[in-house]
Structure 1
């Protein structure tokens, strides 16, 4: 089993371990079945809150929420609503949502995969319209500008390589939920630089990419610090929390060789780049050189970025695992 690689900054500014909330999207099983399997594997007891919403209390990793991931579940319960939810089950994922977990909790959650897979859980590759993912809500190391801005800049600089070197499933690329950052946003972030402010990054974000449908959704962090500004700019409800909402990872739960730990490595790599000031500077300089005034094709930068990362001793195979 691949272990969960440690973060470069594993502790918060207060000395507590950084925690990670996880959201797992899957098909093939209904909410009740998933809830029972979670309780059987992780302990606790499952409670049905609504026709399509379950809570598993007192597990070894805290409370789990399990529900059909569609806005209709929040609509007042009627027979028509429940019928629509049942019909939508063919393409709408069941989602498992955890509380913030420490590294031991992540390992225990990863162990649930085999149980769900054996029971018939399906991932992205099982259907062209599935597009299921794993979302990692990674607690920020501190409220400082650097601990918010530098991981954002690092991700923006290496995103094309992340997608090329470890591609997400085709079904997810066809859907809008994990679109890449616009080139002009990356250019603006480079102009801001690693020593800019989180507030300035928020202003750029709202100008260039005011949507949650990105591989790295920064709106929860920005809503945590500037709730009124985000509420005014974004129509979608944004849960304010001091976490990087990393939406890029796939859910391939029906593949016996897949694990959440593999997807976690993507984020660890982002933070390792963010922690290396010289590497950030080089990537920024070479990104500008590669893109010039106008770039329509992103594959060239992905290859060049990979060469730079390998020279720095950073790639997926170089991560501890």
Structure 2
């Protein structure tokens, strides 16, 4: 049974348009062609192949992409005329072997277009139906570390707004990690690291009120990598690519006016897991970022929890934050 995706209080950007979010889902258990065929049926769109192991599904809300999440395999061409003829003659057989192996060890990925928040039930239904068809997530094997990533558009691009989101995320990182019950295989990767502890102290300090350039410099000095549970580099590329380039040079960074939430794993074969399980926890962060009074209280408590004391040594911030959120009716 599909759960309902909650909606945050702020649904529109400052130019009056409905906010959007991109979704990236990594999974296995289905063959590439089967996934393309089933997804096109569920999304109500027409599929076409645009490259080796890359297909696009055109829908009324934009174009979804389905691909094998491995550039070397997608780019492999054993019929390349530069290869010896003996190798090319075996190309068809070799590719069949490579394809069969790749689909077992490399995740397939569904990448949505930027979707209006109000259209997210499509993703909920898609995930639930793919589970029924045999899709598998991170728990299926130790070498799987599949993610479900969100790219939510911010209400506006003011430094003060971004600071609120970052502060809430810093305070709720451990709570979110516990809620998502991150699979062991994903915990072993470097994709979902927390921010630098020194940076967090700067971020949650009383009266922290930087302009955007200073905010970027503070973050990038301590976190010059994509591999963070909440990755800001796509947003910074959109805001000031020249400043970003002083700290990080990585061609994989895609400019967009969104946050990049990388923490959750894709547990799609778990009958108690739903897309809305992940999304609704993100909405808790959204609601807190929009409530100045509650945010101030939460950050003050989080700041205190980072001090060395007997109380903090014997008390879990995860439990404390859970109780606090329940007392304020956020969960």
Q: Same fold by TM-score, threshold 0.5 exceeded?
A: yes
**Is the partner of 1:257 in helix, strand or coil?**
coil
Q: Where do 1:1-321 residues align within 5 Å?
A: 1-57=2-58, 59-72=59-72, 75=75, 77-78=77-78, 87-191=101-205, 193=207, 195-236=209-250, 237-292=252-307, 300-314=316-330, 318=331
Tell me how far apart the structure 2 counterparts of residues 185 and 297 of structure 1 sit (CA, whole Å).
Answer: 22
Structure 1, unmatched stretches of 5+, are: none
Q: Compute the displacement of 1:304 (Å).
A: 2.6
CA contact (8 A) 2:64 2:111 kept: yes
For residue 114 of structure 1, report the CA deviation from its aligned partner: 3.1
Preserved CA contact (<8 Å) 1:31 1:53: no
When residues 165 and 226 of structure 1 are mapped into structure 2, their CA distance, relative to the original with a 3 A threshold, is: same
1:241-290 deviation digits (Å, cap 9, x = unpaired)? 00111111221211233211111012111111212222322233233322
Given that residues 174 and 318 in structure 2 are in contact (C-alpha distance below 8 angstroms), is that contact kept between their aligned partners in structure 1? yes
Q: Provide Cα deviations, 1:181-228, integer angstroms capped at 9, x if missing partner.
A: 222121111137564333322112111111111111111111100112
Distance change (3 Å), C-alpha of 1:77 and 1:200: farther
RMSD: 2.6
The answer to whether the Cα contact below 8 Å between 1:221 and 1:244 also exists between their aligned partners in 2 is: yes
- The answer to whether the 8 A contact 1:149-1:198 is kept is no
Deviations along 1:149-201, whole A, 9 cap, x unmatched? 21111101111122124422222111111112222121111137564333322
Q: Render the CA deviation track for 1:272-319: whole Å, top value 9, x for unaligned.
A: 12122223222332333222269x9898322232233233222xxx2x
SS of the counterpart of 1:177? coil
Displacement of 1:15 after TM fit? 1.1
SS at match of 2:287: helix
Question: What count of residue pairs does the alignment treat as equivalent?
Answer: 314
| Equivalent-residue separation in structure 2 for 1:77 and 1:53 (angstroms) | 14
Residue in 1 that maps onto 2:85:
none
Give the greater-gyration-radius structure (CA).
2
CA deviation digits over 1:81-116, x for unaligned, max 9?
967675443332100001111234211222112332
Kept after mapping to 1: 8 A contact 2:32/2:108:
yes
Shift of 1:144: 1.6
Rate the CA distance shift 1:297–1:50 in 2: closer, same or farther, 3 A: farther
